[in-house]
Amino acid sequence: MIRKLLRRVFRRNATAGTGLTTIPRSRHGIRREQVSPAARRTCEGLQQAGFKAYVVGGAVRDLIAGIKPKDYDVATDATPDQVRNVFRRSRIIGRRFQIVHVMFGAETIEVSTFRAAHNEDTLKDAHGRVLRDNDWGSIEEDAARRDFTVNALYYDPHTEAVLDYHNGVADLKQKTLRMIGEPRARYREDPVRMLRAVRLSAKLGLTLDPAVRAPIREMADLMENVPAARLFDEMLKLLFSGHAVECLKRLRSDGLHHGLLPLLDVILEQPLGEKFVMLALANTDERVRAGKATSPGFLFATLLWHEVLANWEARKKAKQLSIPALYDAMDEVLQVQAEKLAITRRIAGDIKDIWSLQPRFDKRSGKSPLRLLEQPRFRAGYDFLLLRAASGETEQELADWWTEFQDASHERREEMLLPDAGPKKRRRRSPRKKPGGGGESPGEGS
C-alpha cells in the first residue's frame, strides 16, 4: 500500500509543471496523406479496438520540420499482448524495453506502450542506467519520459491534431534542443542521449540549450557503460544521418569523439588522416541526401584506414612480409574497435575486403589488373582508391589510370599495361645422373 502511494507521488512529481497543448493542422502543417499508410493503419486498427494510438516522436518532429521521416513509431495505451492480438502480422520483441513490430508488406511499424515514470523500483545499474523498462503508464507520463521536447509530440491521423505536452513545437520553431527533466539525471539513465543530442542538433540545425550542452563533456565517460551493439546502432544513425560532417564537428567540440571509435581521435590529430575522413563523410552525406545506396562497411573502412596503415608500416619495419603484415594489421585494428562497437561479421568482412584490395591497385602489369577487375568488391575498392588520391595519400595518376582502364577496350587495356620488371631468371637444373653414375644429356631417357 505504501509502495503504491509513493509511486503515485513520484509520478505526479515527474509530470508536474507540464500542460497539454492541442495544436490543429492549421498550425503544425501535417496532412494525413503525408503519414505512412502503414502508420495510419496501425493507429486506425488500435483506435477501432478501443485504444488510444498516436504517431509519436521523430516522425512527427521531422514532418513539422519539412523532412521526410525514415520510419514511424506509434505509441498506445494498449499493452504489447493487446497490440499483438489486434494485428495478425506482429511480434513482441525486446527485454529491457518491450515493443511490438507490426508488419504491413515491406514496412514495419514499431509500437510501444505508454511508459510510466521511473521510481525507486526501477532497475538501474551502478551508474544510473535503466536496465529494465516495462512499467506501463499514462500518455502524460510517457511524454515526460521522452528525452527532448521536440520528441514528445503525438500526432493523431484521425483528427490531424498534434498533442504537445512540453512545448516541443515552439522549441522546434525557435531552433532550440531542450531536455525534458534534469539533463544530468537523464544522461545517467541513458548515456546514448548525449550522442542523440549531437545528431539531432546537427540534423535539424538546432542550438543545444546550455543546460543540455554543459554536462556532456564531463559525463562522456558514461558511454563506456553502453552495450557495444547499441552504441554501434546509434553510431550508424549518426554517420548515415546525411549530416555526418557536422555531427563529427559537434562531437569534437563537445569532447565525445574520444573513445567512441577508439582510434578516431588519433586519426583526427593527423592532417592527412583528417582530410581523408572528412572527404569520406562528405561523400556519404551527399549520397544520403541524394537517396543513393550507402555502405557501413565502406564508411568504417575509411574511418579506420589510417590506423591500419600505421600498424602495417610498423610491422613491415619489424621485417614482417608485406601482405601477411597487412592482414595482421587489419585484424588488430578491428579487434580494438570491437571492444567498443559491435561491428557485425558481415560488415567486418566488407571492411577487410576493401582494405586488402588496396595494394593490388599498385600492380599494373601482367594479368594482375585484369584479375582485379573480376573481384566482387572491385568497385568499392576503386572508390576507396579515389578517396585516397583525393586526400593526397596516393598519386592521382594511379586513380586516373584505373578510371580509364576499367572502361577501356581490350586493345586499349593491352596498350596501358606497364611492362614487367623483366623476365625472371630460371634456375639451372642439375643434370640427373644415370644409375651407373654418368650424366644424362637433354632429351635422353624418355
For residue 204, give the C-alpha cell: 535539424
Q: Is 164 a catalytic residue?
A: no
Q: Where are the alpha helices (DSSP H) in 190-227?
A: 192-204, 210-213, 216-219
Sign of the C-alpha dihedral computed for residues 34, 35, 38 and 44 taken in this order: negative
348: number of Cβ within 10 Å: 19
Q: At what angle do helices 396-407 and 378-390 cross, to 10 degrees?
A: 150
Q: H or E segment at 74?
A: strand 73-76
Q: Is 73 a catalytic residue?
A: yes
Cα–Cα distance, 446 to 425 (Å, whole number): 26
Q: Is 407 a catalytic residue?
A: no
Long-range contacts of the stretch 128-135 (C-beta < 8 A, 24+):
128/185, 128/188, 128/189, 129/188, 129/189, 129/190, 129/191, 129/222, 129/225, 129/226, 130/96, 130/189, 130/190, 131/96, 132/95, 132/96, 133/96, 133/97, 134/97, 134/98
Residue of 271, 149, 119 whose CA lies nearest to 209: 149
Selecting among 71, 121, 221, 400, the annotated active-site residue is 71
C-alpha to C-alpha distances, 326 to 253, 297, 330, nearest whole angstrom: 33, 18, 6
Selecting among 77, 147, 164, 350, the annotated active-site residue is 147
- Which residues are known catalytic residues? 71, 73, 147
